[in-house]
Amino acid sequence: MAHKVLVVAAHPDDEVLGCGGTILRHVANGDEVHIMIMAEGLTSRDNQRDVGLRQGELSELHRNAYKVSELLGAKKLTLLDFPDNRMDSVELLDVVKQIEAEVDDFCPDIVYTHHVGDVNVDHMITYKAVVTACRPLPGNTVKELYFFETLSSTEWQIPTADKIFTPQVYVDVEKYMDKKIEALHLYESEMREYPHSRSYEAVEILAKYRGFTVGKHFAEAFELGRYITD
Protein backbone atom coordinates (compact mmCIF):
# COMPACT_ATOMS: atom_id res chain seq x y z
CA MET A 1 0.00 0.00 0.00
CA ALA A 2 1.43 3.36 -1.07
CA HIS A 3 2.19 5.95 1.58
CA LYS A 4 1.74 9.70 1.64
CA VAL A 5 4.97 11.26 2.86
CA LEU A 6 5.47 14.85 3.98
CA VAL A 7 8.96 16.30 4.46
CA VAL A 8 9.12 19.62 6.31
CA ALA A 9 12.51 21.33 6.12
CA ALA A 10 13.61 24.74 7.30
CA HIS A 11 15.80 25.72 4.32
CA PRO A 12 16.54 24.69 0.74
CA ASP A 13 19.13 21.88 1.01
CA ASP A 14 17.93 20.58 4.41
CA GLU A 15 15.51 18.20 2.70
CA VAL A 16 18.40 16.57 0.82
CA LEU A 17 20.91 16.62 3.67
CA GLY A 18 18.40 15.18 6.12
CA CYS A 19 16.53 12.58 4.10
CA GLY A 20 17.31 12.86 0.38
CA GLY A 21 18.06 9.16 0.01
CA THR A 22 14.96 8.22 1.96
CA ILE A 23 12.81 10.45 -0.25
CA LEU A 24 14.23 8.71 -3.31
CA ARG A 25 13.51 5.32 -1.74
CA HIS A 26 9.92 6.31 -0.96
CA VAL A 27 9.38 7.45 -4.55
CA ALA A 28 10.92 4.23 -5.91
CA ASN A 29 8.47 2.30 -3.73
CA GLY A 30 5.51 4.15 -5.26
CA ASP A 31 4.88 6.55 -2.37
CA GLU A 32 3.74 10.13 -2.93
CA VAL A 33 6.10 12.72 -1.44
CA HIS A 34 5.38 16.38 -0.72
CA ILE A 35 8.12 18.75 0.46
CA MET A 36 7.63 21.96 2.44
CA ILE A 37 10.50 24.44 2.87
CA MET A 38 9.75 27.03 5.50
CA ALA A 39 12.35 29.85 5.28
CA GLU A 40 13.64 31.69 2.23
CA GLY A 41 17.21 30.61 2.92
CA LEU A 42 19.51 33.57 2.29
CA THR A 43 18.87 36.87 4.05
CA SER A 44 20.59 35.90 7.32
CA ARG A 45 23.88 36.61 5.53
CA ASP A 46 23.15 40.32 5.97
CA ASN A 47 23.00 42.28 9.23
CA GLN A 48 19.50 43.47 8.34
CA ARG A 49 16.99 41.40 6.41
CA ASP A 50 16.58 42.87 2.93
CA VAL A 51 14.77 40.52 0.55
CA GLY A 52 15.14 42.99 -2.31
CA LEU A 53 18.92 43.03 -1.95
CA ARG A 54 19.03 39.25 -2.32
CA GLN A 55 16.19 38.86 -4.81
CA GLY A 56 18.34 37.54 -7.65
CA GLU A 57 20.06 34.98 -5.44
CA LEU A 58 16.77 33.98 -3.83
CA SER A 59 15.16 33.40 -7.22
CA GLU A 60 18.07 31.19 -8.28
CA LEU A 61 18.00 29.26 -5.00
CA HIS A 62 14.28 28.65 -5.31
CA ARG A 63 14.60 27.60 -8.96
CA ASN A 64 17.20 25.09 -7.82
CA ALA A 65 14.85 23.87 -5.09
CA TYR A 66 12.29 23.03 -7.77
CA LYS A 67 14.97 21.23 -9.79
CA VAL A 68 15.92 19.23 -6.70
CA SER A 69 12.29 18.38 -6.00
CA GLU A 70 11.91 17.11 -9.56
CA LEU A 71 15.13 15.11 -9.34
CA LEU A 72 14.01 13.49 -6.09
CA GLY A 73 10.62 12.67 -7.59
CA ALA A 74 8.50 14.68 -5.18
CA LYS A 75 4.93 15.28 -6.32
CA LYS A 76 4.73 18.78 -4.78
CA LEU A 77 7.08 21.44 -3.43
CA THR A 78 5.85 24.29 -1.23
CA LEU A 79 8.29 27.18 -0.73
CA LEU A 80 7.40 29.57 2.06
CA ASP A 81 9.15 32.85 2.86
CA PHE A 82 9.71 32.93 6.60
CA PRO A 83 12.82 34.98 7.45
CA ASP A 84 16.06 33.01 7.20
CA ASN A 85 17.57 32.23 10.62
CA ARG A 86 15.04 34.62 12.14
CA MET A 87 12.02 32.32 12.46
CA ASP A 88 12.07 32.94 16.21
CA SER A 89 10.81 36.44 15.35
CA VAL A 90 7.59 34.88 13.98
CA GLU A 91 4.67 33.76 16.13
CA LEU A 92 4.91 29.96 16.41
CA LEU A 93 1.20 29.70 15.69
CA ASP A 94 1.73 31.28 12.27
CA VAL A 95 4.27 28.59 11.42
CA VAL A 96 2.04 25.82 12.78
CA LYS A 97 -0.92 26.96 10.69
CA GLN A 98 1.07 26.67 7.45
CA ILE A 99 1.98 23.07 8.26
CA GLU A 100 -1.49 22.24 9.52
CA ALA A 101 -2.96 23.42 6.22
CA GLU A 102 -0.70 21.03 4.29
CA VAL A 103 -1.43 18.16 6.69
CA ASP A 104 -5.18 18.75 6.42
CA ASP A 105 -5.03 18.95 2.61
CA PHE A 106 -2.54 16.14 1.89
CA CYS A 107 -3.36 13.79 4.81
CA PRO A 108 0.14 12.27 5.08
CA ASP A 109 0.69 9.12 7.09
CA ILE A 110 4.49 9.63 7.34
CA VAL A 111 6.22 12.91 8.26
CA TYR A 112 9.93 13.78 8.41
CA THR A 113 11.40 16.94 9.94
CA HIS A 114 14.30 18.38 11.93
CA HIS A 115 15.70 17.22 15.25
CA VAL A 116 14.96 19.23 18.40
CA GLY A 117 18.64 19.53 19.29
CA ASP A 118 19.79 21.34 16.15
CA VAL A 119 21.71 24.55 16.82
CA ASN A 120 19.96 26.36 13.96
CA VAL A 121 16.99 28.32 15.33
CA ASP A 122 14.88 27.76 12.20
CA HIS A 123 15.33 24.01 12.60
CA MET A 124 14.14 24.19 16.20
CA ILE A 125 11.09 26.29 15.29
CA THR A 126 10.25 23.93 12.43
CA TYR A 127 10.52 20.95 14.77
CA LYS A 128 8.16 22.55 17.30
CA ALA A 129 5.67 23.53 14.61
CA VAL A 130 5.63 20.05 13.04
CA VAL A 131 5.15 18.30 16.38
CA THR A 132 2.25 20.65 17.12
CA ALA A 133 0.68 20.32 13.68
CA CYS A 134 0.97 16.52 13.84
CA ARG A 135 -0.33 16.08 17.38
CA PRO A 136 -2.35 12.86 17.62
CA LEU A 137 -5.87 14.25 17.69
CA PRO A 138 -8.71 11.92 16.72
CA GLY A 139 -8.83 11.72 12.95
CA ASN A 140 -5.22 12.84 12.42
CA THR A 141 -3.71 10.80 9.58
CA VAL A 142 -0.06 10.97 10.69
CA LYS A 143 0.98 7.52 11.89
CA GLU A 144 4.77 7.85 11.69
CA LEU A 145 6.86 10.86 12.72
CA TYR A 146 10.64 10.91 12.21
CA PHE A 147 13.38 13.43 12.96
CA PHE A 148 16.45 13.65 10.72
CA GLU A 149 19.96 14.96 11.31
CA THR A 150 21.25 17.93 9.30
CA LEU A 151 24.98 18.34 8.86
CA SER A 152 26.29 21.74 10.07
CA SER A 153 23.56 21.88 12.70
CA THR A 154 22.79 18.59 14.45
CA GLU A 155 26.41 17.59 15.09
CA TRP A 156 27.34 21.11 16.25
CA GLN A 157 25.09 20.88 19.29
CA ILE A 158 26.72 20.31 22.68
CA PRO A 159 25.90 16.60 23.31
CA THR A 160 23.84 16.82 26.47
CA ALA A 161 21.28 14.11 27.14
CA ASP A 162 18.33 16.27 26.07
CA LYS A 163 19.93 17.54 22.84
CA ILE A 164 22.01 14.73 21.36
CA PHE A 165 20.73 12.97 18.23
CA THR A 166 20.13 9.31 19.13
CA PRO A 167 18.74 7.44 16.12
CA GLN A 168 16.73 4.26 16.34
CA VAL A 169 15.65 3.99 12.69
CA TYR A 170 18.05 3.43 9.78
CA VAL A 171 17.20 3.46 6.07
CA ASP A 172 19.45 1.72 3.55
CA VAL A 173 20.16 4.33 0.85
CA GLU A 174 23.02 2.64 -1.01
CA LYS A 175 21.06 2.68 -4.28
CA TYR A 176 20.30 6.38 -3.92
CA MET A 177 23.55 7.99 -2.72
CA ASP A 178 24.72 9.05 -6.19
CA LYS A 179 21.45 10.85 -6.83
CA LYS A 180 21.49 12.43 -3.35
CA ILE A 181 24.92 13.90 -4.12
CA GLU A 182 23.67 14.98 -7.54
CA ALA A 183 20.81 16.82 -5.83
CA LEU A 184 23.25 18.56 -3.49
CA HIS A 185 25.23 19.76 -6.49
CA LEU A 186 22.12 21.72 -7.48
CA TYR A 187 22.55 23.50 -4.13
CA GLU A 188 26.22 24.20 -4.83
CA SER A 189 25.99 27.71 -3.35
CA GLU A 190 25.05 26.17 0.02
CA MET A 191 27.86 23.62 0.09
CA ARG A 192 31.34 24.15 1.55
CA GLU A 193 34.82 22.70 1.20
CA TYR A 194 35.86 19.71 3.33
CA PRO A 195 36.44 19.45 6.28
CA HIS A 196 33.34 21.65 6.72
CA SER A 197 30.54 19.29 7.71
CA ARG A 198 28.29 20.66 4.95
CA SER A 199 30.51 19.29 2.20
CA TYR A 200 30.01 16.48 -0.27
CA GLU A 201 32.74 14.42 1.43
CA ALA A 202 31.16 14.84 4.86
CA VAL A 203 27.74 13.81 3.53
CA GLU A 204 29.23 10.60 2.19
CA ILE A 205 31.22 9.97 5.38
CA LEU A 206 28.10 10.35 7.53
CA ALA A 207 26.11 8.00 5.27
CA LYS A 208 28.90 5.43 5.51
CA TYR A 209 29.04 5.78 9.29
CA ARG A 210 25.28 5.38 9.66
CA GLY A 211 25.50 2.48 7.23
CA PHE A 212 28.18 0.40 8.91
CA THR A 213 26.41 0.97 12.23
CA VAL A 214 23.72 -1.38 10.91
CA GLY A 215 25.72 -3.49 8.48
CA LYS A 216 24.95 -1.49 5.33
CA HIS A 217 27.15 0.47 2.95
CA PHE A 218 25.17 3.73 3.21
CA ALA A 219 22.26 4.71 5.44
CA GLU A 220 20.28 7.68 6.71
CA ALA A 221 19.38 7.70 10.38
CA PHE A 222 16.31 9.04 12.20
CA GLU A 223 14.99 9.49 15.68
CA LEU A 224 11.53 8.00 16.03
CA GLY A 225 9.02 10.52 17.27
CA ARG A 226 5.85 8.47 17.01
CA TYR A 227 4.68 5.20 15.45
CA ILE A 228 1.00 4.34 15.59
CA THR A 229 -0.38 0.99 14.45
CA ASP A 230 -4.06 0.47 13.65
Please say whether the beta carbons of 4 and 153 come within 8 A.
no
pLDDT tens readout for residues 134-191 = 999 999 999 999 999 999 999 999 999 889 999 999 999 999 999 999 999 999 999 9
pLDDT digits (tens, 9 = 90+) for 18-31: 999 999 999 999 99
Mean pLDDT across the stretch 204-217?
98
Q: How far apart are CA 205 and CA 180, in angstroms?
A: 13
Which range of residues forms the domain containing residue 125? 4-227
CA–CA–CA angle 226, 168, 223 (5° rounding):
50
Whether residue 46 has pLDDT greater than 90: no
How many domains, the chain?
A: 1
pLDDT for the residue 98: 98
Report the alpha-carbon distance of residue 4 to residue 108 in Å, rounded.
Answer: 5
The CATH number covering residue 164 comes to 3.40.50.10320
How many angstroms from the chain centroid is the CA of residue 54?
23
